Structure formats: structure tokens, C-alpha cells
A and B are shown apart, each in its own frame.
Chain A
Amino acid sequence: MSPARTLPLDVSKLRTEFPVLSRAMRGKRLAYLDSGATSLKPRSVLEAERAYYEQLSSNIHRGVYEFSERATILYDEARTKAAGLINAAAAREVIFTRGTTESINLVGYSWGRKFLKPGDEILTSEFEHHSNIVVWQEVAKATGAVLRFFPLLPHAEGLDPEQLETAFSERTRIVAITGMSNVTGYKPPLRRIAELAHERGAVVLVDGAQMACHEPVDVQALDIDFLAFSAHKMCGPTGIGVLYGRESLLEAMDPFLYGGDMIERVWKDRSTYAQLPEKFEAGTPHIAGAIGFGAACDFVQGVGLEAIAAHERELLDYCLARTRARDDITVYGGINTDDRGGIFSFNFADVHAHDVGMILDSHGVAVRAGFHCAQPLMRVFGVAGTTRASFYMYTDRSDIDALFDGLDAVRKIFL
């Protein structure tokens, strides 16, 4: 392999791969700035799903005929591609789920409820999406474990590095932490967190919903134990995602859902269960979704995750530079982009985020407005919500210019 070199993306060419980008919204050029909620889908992904339904349409594993065999191969290939994307040591460490939320629930039920004891500590942060907090609240309730939070820097610009280590105790058993905040794009120091956790015999689960799609992820280099992510944020279909788990941990855990496809032998009164990964995949999976996901892995890797990360950072720098000259925009998460992904969260004067979002909508600009499934972080900021613009490989400067033009319209109406 040639040494890693990041070439700038050919964004205008890339944009032609995404059919939605050729549509107008409210009669305006679509400025899609909501990739943090879900990414747009390229043709190759749509075609892969369609080809499965049109040409095979057969269930996997059980069929003895050609089409079923072929579908099984494509499904298994998708797993290998997903494993490759995150550099898992083996494809059997990749469990297909419905998405990040289900992946985290799987760990909560199958690892948390089995191994946590009263007084054990679950260490998490106020940067988490609700899916990585509520699950652990319930696990704590069921097991008597206690939820602890990493102390933050002022203005929630990150975890406080001075207090990273002291947040751990002898009872810390699991760290449930985001790889990239869906509100500010902040990226916690995962490698260091994993080191501190492993020194104390704790495991690390990373919510990679915003991370895995925007930068190269290597679970072995990061030395993390679980990684949850979704296909739909990385050009893939909705309804499918991954739980990566270290093999020894997945082996020690009980199944999550029970039924067909996850068994080895079934008697009237008992059953034995399949090996990894089938042990965790009860019922007919989202076959078309997995195949589409495989195509999405090919697509994002073809574009290059290094290049995507660099492109998004450049857009964020451009965005932040445009805010510097004005006093009517409050930016959340600080202005340092060293440890940030392509997410720009802000409030415009004292205008409610929903009013901002709605006026932007009428100018063809798609953003997210509200609390972003992160109410604890909104409390840290002391706001009810924010407006969030989030980027991806196909985002260009015209999209950001459209955002700022839209804000001028907000100003005219409200200020």
C-alpha cells in the first residue's frame, strides 16, 4: 500500500451519485445539512438492495437452492466488509442489529445484566445520545449498579483531561462513551479511556453512530471492547447496524433475542445456541439492508474516510470563520476543531431553534432543531435546544452559504 495521503474530494462529482441532491426542497436548491440524523444514499447502495430483491429475494442460511446460497454469500460478504471497515480481528465479532440503539441495548441486556453487581459503576458522559444513557439507567436499576459521569471542561468543550483518570474508581466495570458527540462533534480521547479502563479491568463500549461514518476507525488500535454504529448514517439503508464485540466478551455473554437461526439444537425443554455471530442474530435478518450496507462500506472506503474527515473539518472551519464576525450566533462546543467532527451546533440570538429551522426550511436548508436526543447536554448548556448543521462528503460551501443566507432571513423576521 502507498503511504496514506489525503487527496481533496471531488465533491461536485460525488454529488451526482446521490439522487436526492438533484431535487428541490420548497422550490429551492436543497442544502442538506442534516447528515448527523441520516446520510443521503448513493446509487450503488440503492442498486445493491434492489438487485437483491429483483434477482434473489431468497432467505439466507436455510435454503438448499442456488438463490438462497447466493443471498447467503452476499450477506456474509457484507459482514466481512463491515469488519474490514473497523478492522475487527474476525468477521464473527460483527453482529448485525437494527442499528446503534439496538446494539447498545444488546450490550446492556446480555453483558450488563449478566455481569454487573450492586455497587459496580457504569462510567458515561453528558455528551451521550439518550440511547447511551437510558439503556444504562435501566441496567443500573436492574442490577444495583451506579451511573457515574466524566467531569466536563467549562462550556462542555470536552471531557476534562485533568479529571479523566479520577473519574474511574475500583468499582468501574464499563465505560459507555460516544466516539463523536451528535451535538457538537466533540471526539473524546478513546485510546486513553480504553487504557484507563483496562488497567482497572473495565470494558469500553463506544457509541460510534457519528464516528464510524466520518473517520477511519480501527477497533484494535483503539483497543475498545464494543462499538455500536448504524448503516444509515454512512450512506447505507435504515434499519441495519452493527455491534462489534471482542470475541471473548461475546462468547461469555448470553444471547439477546431468542428464536430461529440462533440455535444449535432444540429439545422440548431446552436448547443450545449457535456460535458467533448467529448466536446474536435471531430471526430472519434485514438481508437487503445488510447487502446495501456492504455496498455502503465499499462506497465510503472508495471515497476514503481520511479524505471525508479532512473535508468535513475544512467545512467546519469555514462555518466557524463565518460566525466570528458576528455577535448574533452562539456556537456550542468551542471553536477548536482539533478534536471535532463536522457538526455545527448554534443558537441565533434568542430565536427558538424551531423557528430558525423552519425559516431555513423555507429557504431549502435542511437542519435539525431541538435537543438532539441529548437533554442532559442541553442542561449543561442551559438551553432548551440548538440548531444543528451537520456535514458529510457531499456537503459543499454553497450549502453553508445557503445556511447563512437563511439566517439573514431569520434576522429580518425576528430581530
Chain B
Amino acid sequence: MNLGDDLYKEIILDNYKAKKYRRRMDDADISREGANPSCGDDIELFVRLNGDRIEEVTYDGAGCSICLASANMLCTALTGRTLGEARALFDQVRSMLTDADVPDFPEYAADLEAMQGVKAFPVRVKCAMLAWSTLKQVVDEHSLSAG
């Protein structure tokens, strides 16, 4: 095993192949598209809210394994969580991928630690971040409209 092969940990591959959250949602409160123009990752995130709580979150689109695995981890972690928790997790994921921070994820988001290896490949950080950046926009937008 070398560095590149090692990135493709079983957790990432399992999340990439998982189909549970990979679908469009007809009754979403908010949906948002996100794209990485340089590499062609292109996803859409769907969120259904109950007050401040994410009742359901799904994604659809095309992307590499890192991008889609990250989107699946996002959905797994944030289903049933509050927007505040979503924001906090976004901050942690970003600092794990872009700073030297060692993550300390809550139990429900433990799979995300498998993404640490992406940091060694700067061009792939955007792939891992796409779903999270898109989610951040959804959360910010909602907070604004909710006043």
C-alpha cells in the first residue's frame, strides 16, 4: 500500500458506494447545487427542515469517490441534527482539511475522520469540501431568511 492507495480506506469506499442518501427529494425546503468547475464534481443537496432541525438531508449528482463519500457522510451525520450542529461540524471538517487541526468529531460523525488523509492531496480537498460548502450556503441562507 502506498499513500494514494491508502487514501481509499474502506470507510470512504463504503460511503461512496452507499446509496441510502443518494436521491433527489421532492418536498425539500431548500435545495442547492454546488460544483467544482476545475474537476467536474457537480452535486445537489436537498434539505427538509422542522424548525431549526434537519429532518432529512439527501444529495444527488456526479463526482469522484471523495466528493460523493463526503456527501454521504454529511447526510449520515446531520440527519436529525440542528442547524447549529451542522454549522459546528462544517467548521470542524474545514479545519481538518485545511488546517493542521486534529479533529474531535462527535460520535455520530466519527466516519469523517477517515477523510483526514485527503489533506495530503491539496487538489482533492475541494472534492471533500464540496458537499460541506454547499451545506454551509444552505444554512447561511436559511438563517438570513429566518431573520
Write out, one digit per residue, whether chain B residues 36-64 have a CB within 8 A of any chain A CB (1) or not (0).
00111110000000000000000000111
Task: Determine the distance from Cα of A359 to Cα of B63 in the docked complex, in whole angstroms.
Answer: 16
List residues 341-392 of chain A with CB under 8 A from any CB of chain B: 351-355, 358-359, 361-363, 369-371, 378, 384-385
Spot the interface stretch: B2-10, B73-81, B86-94, B135-143. Answer: B2-10
**Chain A residues closer than 8 Å to B38, beta-carbon distance:** 370
Q: Is A65 on the interface with B (CB-CB < 8 A)?
A: no
Q: Is B124 on the interface with A (CB-CB < 8 A)?
A: yes
Contact residue among A359, A363, A369, A385 (Cβ-Cβ distance under 8 Å from B8)? A359
Task: Determine the distance from Cα of A96 to Cα of B3 in the docked complex, in whole angstroms.
Answer: 43
A35 to chain B, nearest CB (A): 20
Asked if A358 and B124 sit within 8 Å, CB to CB, the answer is yes
Asked if A26 and B3 sit within 8 Å, CB to CB, the answer is yes
A341 to chain B, nearest CB (A): 24
Contact residue among B4, B40, B42 (Cβ-Cβ distance under 8 Å from A358)? B4
**Chain A residues closer than 8 Å to B40, beta-carbon distance:** 353-354, 370-371, 378, 384-385
B62 to chain A, nearest CB (A): 5
Task: Determine the distance from Cα of A354 to Cα of B41 in the docked complex, in whole angstroms.
Answer: 10
Task: Determine the distance from Cα of A355 to Cα of B12 in the docked complex, in whole angstroms.
Answer: 12
Asked if B65 and A409 sit within 8 Å, CB to CB, the answer is no
Task: Determine the distance from Cα of A384 to Cα of B42 in the docked complex, in whole angstroms.
Answer: 9
* Nearest-CB residue, chain A, relative to B38: A370
Q: Is A27 on the interface with B (CB-CB < 8 A)?
A: yes
- In the complex with contacts A370-B39, A414-B13, A362-B63 CB distance below 8 A: no
Asked if B62 and A363 sit within 8 Å, CB to CB, the answer is no
Q: Is B105 on the interface with A (CB-CB < 8 A)?
A: no
- In the complex with contacts A352-B65, A413-B8, A414-B13, A362-B2 CB distance below 8 A: yes
Contact residue among B2, B8, B39, B127 (Cβ-Cβ distance under 8 Å from A26)? B2
Q: Is B121 on the interface with A (CB-CB < 8 A)?
A: yes
A139 to chain B, nearest CB (A): 23
B99 to chain A, nearest CB (A): 22
Asked if B42 and A26 sit within 8 Å, CB to CB, the answer is no
Task: Determine the distance from Cα of A358 to Cα of B125 in the docked complex, in whole angstroms.
Answer: 13
B19 to chain A, nearest CB (A): 13
Task: Determine the distance from Cα of A359 to Cα of B3 in the docked complex, in whole angstroms.
Answer: 9
Asked if A355 and B5 sit within 8 Å, CB to CB, the answer is no
Asked if B64 and A354 sit within 8 Å, CB to CB, the answer is yes
Contact residue among A352, A363, A384 (Cβ-Cβ distance under 8 Å from B4)? A363
Tally of A-B residue pairs with Cβ under 8 A?
A: 54
Max count, chain B CB within 10 A of own CB: residue among A354, A361, A363, A370: A354
Asked if A355 and B3 sit within 8 Å, CB to CB, the answer is no
Asked if A354 and B4 sit within 8 Å, CB to CB, the answer is no
B143 to chain A, nearest CB (A): 32
Task: Determine the distance from Cα of A401 to Cα of B28 in the docked complex, in whole angstroms.
Answer: 49
B67 to chain A, nearest CB (A): 8
Asked if B4 and A359 sit within 8 Å, CB to CB, the answer is yes
**Chain B residues closer than 8 Å to A351, beta-carbon distance:** 65
**Chain B residues closer than 8 Å to A369, beta-carbon distance:** 39
Task: Determine the distance from Cα of A378 to Cα of B40 in the docked complex, in whole angstroms.
Answer: 11
**Chain B residues closer than 8 Å to A414, beta-carbon distance:** 8, 13, 65
**Chain B residues closer than 8 Å to A384, beta-carbon distance:** 40, 42, 62
Max count, chain B CB within 10 A of own CB: residue among A27, A353, A355, A378: A355
B63 to chain A, nearest CB (A): 7
Task: Determine the distance from Cα of A370 to Cα of B123 in the docked complex, in whole angstroms.
Answer: 13
Write out, one digit per residue, whether chain B residues 99-115 have a CB within 8 A of any chain A CB (1) or not (0).
00000000000000000
Task: Determine the distance from Cα of A385 to Cα of B41 in the docked complex, in whole angstroms.
Answer: 10
Task: Determine the distance from Cα of A369 to Cα of B65 in the docked complex, in whole angstroms.
Answer: 14
- In the complex with contacts A27-B2, A371-B40, A358-B7 CB distance below 8 A: yes
Asked if A352 and B8 sit within 8 Å, CB to CB, the answer is no
Task: Determine the distance from Cα of A81 to Cα of B42 in the docked complex, in whole angstroms.
Answer: 45
**Chain A residues closer than 8 Å to B39, beta-carbon distance:** 354, 369-370, 385
Asked if B5 and A362 sit within 8 Å, CB to CB, the answer is yes
Q: Mind listing 15 A-B residue pairs with CB under 8 Å?
A: A26-B3, A351-B65, A352-B65, A353-B40, A354-B127, A355-B64, A355-B65, A358-B121, A362-B2, A362-B3, A362-B5, A363-B4, A371-B40, A384-B62, A414-B65
Interface of A with B (CB < 8 Å)?
Answer: 26-27, 351-355, 358-359, 361-363, 369-371, 378, 384-385, 409, 413-414
**Apart from A352-B65, A354-B66, 7 more pairs, CB < 8 Å:** A351-B65, A352-B63, A358-B7, A358-B121, A361-B4, A362-B5, A370-B40
Task: Identify the 9 closest CB pairs spanning chains A and B, nearest first.
Answer: A362-B4, A354-B64, A352-B64, A384-B40, A385-B40, A384-B62, A355-B65, A413-B8, A355-B64
